[in-house]
Amino acid sequence: MGRGGTMTVTRVIPNLRVDDLDAARRFYVDSLGMVEEPLGLEWITRFLDDSTGTALQVFTHDATAHENPAATVKVTDVDATYATMQAAGYEIVHPLVTEEWGVRRFFVRPPGGAVLNIAQDHD
Residue 74: the pLDDT is 95
* pLDDT value, residue 39: 85
Total domain count for the chain?
A: 1
60-107, pLDDT tens digit by residue? 987 788 889 999 999 999 999 999 999 999 999 999 999 888 899 999
- Tell me: pLDDT of 7 over 90: no
Which domain CATH number covers 61? 3.10.180.10
* pLDDT on residue 3: 56
pLDDT of residue 1: 44
Quote the CA–CA distance of 118 and 100 in Å, as a whole number. Answer: 16
User: Average pLDDT of 44-55?
Assistant: 92
**Does a structural domain hold residue 52?**
yes
- Which residues span the domain enclosing 48? 9-121
pLDDT at residue 5 greater than cutoff 80? no
- Write down the pLDDT at residue 40: 85
The residue-averaged pLDDT of 113-117 equals 95
Beta bridge partners of 105: 97, 119
Q: Is residue 4 domain-resident?
A: no
Query: Which of 83, 90, 79, 80 lies closest to 116, judged by CA?
Result: 90
User: In this structure, how many other beta carbons lie within 10 angstroms of the beta carbon of residue 87?
Assistant: 8
Is residue 1 in a domain? no
In a domain, 76, yes or no: yes
